[in-house]
Amino acid sequence: MWDILVSYCSDALLITGSFLSLTFAIGLLRFPDFYTRMHAAGVSDTLCAGLIVLGLVLQAGISLVTLKLLFILLFLWFTSPTASFALARAAHRAGYRVSEQEEVASSNS
Amino acid sequence: MINIILLGFLAVVAIAVAMMRDLFAIVMLFGIYSLLTAGIFVSLDAVDVAFTEAAVGAGISTILILSTLALTSREEKQPTHSFLLPLLVVLVTGATLVYGTLDMPAFSDPEAPVHQHVAPHYLNQAEQETGVPNIVTAVLASYRSYDTMGEVTVIFTAGIAVLLLLSAFRHHEDEASNLNDLSHHPVLRYIARLMIPFILLFALYVQFHGDYGPGGGFQAGVIFAAGFILYGLVVGIDKTRQMFSESKLHWLMASGLLLYIGVGIVSLLLGGEFLNYNVFAADPLKGQHWGIFLVELGVGITVTATMISVFLAFSEVRRSE
Amino acid sequence: MSTFIDLYNYWIFIFLMMVGFYIVISQGNLVKKIIGLNIFQTAVFLLYISMGKVKGGTAPIIMAGDVSYSNPLPHVLILTAIVVGVATTALAMALIIRIRKAYGTIEEQDIHEQDASL
């Protein structure tokens, strides 16, 4: 009974993670300018990776593998926001600004 | 299934590399290509190889090519000559190769000739003969240690050649270096400083756990070097240079290889063949253990020192003409 | 159809190899040529590793029980080849930097023109 519950939970986490990462990938392609795309990529890095790793942790049970997976998660949560930040900052320094459309929309409202 | 999808991605990335003109984007795509390759290696059971490819392809070689771009130019000129002839050559060669594959055994066929020759011996006997559960390490460091010695020599020689080629253009000590310098970036600096000890610790784990899990000298060497390259990128080249002076790195590069050869010579003196570790101790397994340990250590030292000194040599080239 | 599934892997590798080959012979930029060469090299690596794969096998690290393993020999060859590959790529890059210092360009066409005008 317990096993089945855990395996369902893990499946749910994996599927949610994969689905979200697919939507973020679409967002990455469809969003209008650099910063909104960055946003899609950055969020998928932490959220989807988190969900998928947690799903795998549930499948692995309590073992050394689980510990390693949790370490991977920890490192991902440290490094991927840093990478997103560095990328956004570099873009800002290079002179990329929020797209025209966005500015027009905000000035109209 | 996952294999087929990853291979499809690879093909798409390769075409994109061929079509694009912006070299900077090409280098980034090439990093992605390497990472995909590493993924395919994992799905083909080659964990040790995947390890190396991820550290080398997505890390070190990307940084090296980027440093070259910073020193040369970023945009590629439109080629003037026709592309028809190269395309024809490529198509003919490709068709010939495809014709050749028709005779090849099916993918993942256990009866294929490659699996009949020495591989069964390695898989069945290696653990009894060398005491190492990771067969890749056993073959690399014991059965085919001549081969590995040659490879380490090649890496050492290539490193020396790079240093010779670039030494004429080194900028002077007092010249401020701003290439690759991210030291004005507080967040990156902080996170990198947090991560670097873990990267180095992980490299040591890979080095000394290589007998039992995926790992070994080559992988540990590139991971260790990647850690120091990260240090060099965020803290500044000058500080890294203070830590690794030129003579120290040269000494390390040579000493790794010398350790490897020394192990071979000692085994000769003890009455065995060159690089036969059985003679190191009364118990052959113990001898094997020591031999593999020392040889892998030599590989690790040479690879680390070569990669770091190549990186430093690239970073210290004068940018002005 | 069964031929297709059996040999699909090899064909993709040949395709990658040919893309790399095409870049090497058709492009004038030296850095891009080296990247093409690297793609070619990776295709060879993939070919070796995929020949080592055994159906139902696992990574060649001996475990308890009756398990079948993939062939470890290609792994050893390619593992060292990758590190040698990055060392030779570094050498190529150093040569490119030297060429740039001597000629002021890394386009093959311009280099030939300068050589011809000497």
pLDDT tens-digit series, residues C9-51: 888 899 999 999 999 988 888 999 999 999 999 999 999 998 8
Q: What are phi and psi of A95, to 5 degrees?
A: 100, 10
pLDDT score of A109: 42
B62 touches chain C (CB under 8 A): no
Q: What is the total count of domains within chain B? A: 2
Judged by CB atoms closer than 8 Å, whether chains meet at B136 and C72 is answered as: yes
Do residues B176 and B286 both lie within one domain? Answer: yes
> What domain range is B39 assigned to?
1-104
Q: Which residues of chain B have a pLDDT value below 50?
A: 174-177, 179-180, 321
Candidate from C8, C55, C58 with C-beta closest to B4:
C8
Q: Can chain B be said to touch chain C, i.e. do they have 3 or more Cβ pairs within 8 angstroms? A: yes
- Give residue-wise pLDDT tens across range A32-55: 888 888 888 888 878 888 898 888
Do residues B305 and B176 both lie within one domain? Answer: yes
Do residues B100 and B185 both lie within one domain? Answer: no
Do residues B98 and B198 both lie within one domain? Answer: no
Judged by CB atoms closer than 8 Å, whether chains meet at A78 and B187 is answered as: no
Judged by CB atoms closer than 8 Å, whether chains meet at B7 and C104 is answered as: no
Whole-structure pTM value = 0.87
- Assess contact for B70 and C17: CB atoms under 8 A: no
pLDDT score of A102: 52
Do residues B6 and B138 both lie within one domain? Answer: no
pLDDT score of A62: 79
**Surface of C (80-99) touching B: CB under 8 A:** 80-91, 93-98
Please report, for residues B147, B203, C79, the alpha-carbon distance to residue B199 in angstroms, rounded to integers and kept in the order given: 29, 6, 20
Do residues B43 and B170 both lie within one domain? Answer: no
Give me the CATH number covering residue B76: 1.20.120.1200
Q: Minimal Cα–Cα distance from C88 to chain B, Å? A: 6
Do residues B169 and B290 both lie within one domain? Answer: yes
pLDDT score of B174: 46
pLDDT score of B172: 54
Do residues B264 and B156 both lie within one domain? Answer: yes
pLDDT score of A100: 57
- Give residue-wise pLDDT tens across range A62-76: 788 888 888 888 988
Do residues B100 and B139 both lie within one domain? Answer: no
**In a domain? residue B110:** no
User: Domains of chain C by range and CATH?
Assistant: 2-53+70-116 (1.10.287.3510)
pLDDT score of A86: 84
For chain B, list the contacting chains (3+ Cβ pairs, <8 Å): A, C
**In a domain? residue B109:** no
Residues in B touching A85 (Cβ below 8 Å): 187-188
Do residues B147 and B65 both lie within one domain? Answer: no
**In a domain? residue B113:** no
Q: Which residue of C has its CA nearest to B213?
A: C61
Q: How many residues are recorded in chain A?
A: 109
Partners of B317 in the beta sheet?
A: B170
- Give residue-wise pLDDT tens across range C61-108: 888 777 888 888 899 999 889 989 999 999 999 999 989 888 888 888
Q: Which of B28, B184, B187 to mutate to test the interface with A (most CBs of A within 10 A)?
A: B187
**In a domain? residue B8:** yes
C61 touches chain B (CB under 8 A): yes
pLDDT score of B255: 94
B69 touches chain C (CB under 8 A): yes
Buried b (16+ CB within 10 A) or exposed e, A78-89: eebbbebbeebe
- Give residue-wise pLDDT tens across range A12-36: 999 999 998 888 888 888 888 888 8
Do residues B252 and B178 both lie within one domain? Answer: yes
pLDDT score of B95: 93
More confident residue, B68 or A95: B68
**Surface of B (163-182) touching C: CB under 8 A:** 165-166, 169
Q: Which residue of B has its CA nearest to A71?
A: B198
Judged by CB atoms closer than 8 Å, whether chains meet at C93 and B86 is answered as: no
Do residues B41 and B173 both lie within one domain? Answer: no
**In a domain? residue B271:** yes
Closest to C106 in 3D by CA, of C98, B285, B224: C98
Q: What are phi and psi of A93, to 5 degrees?
A: -65, -35
**In a domain? residue B123:** no
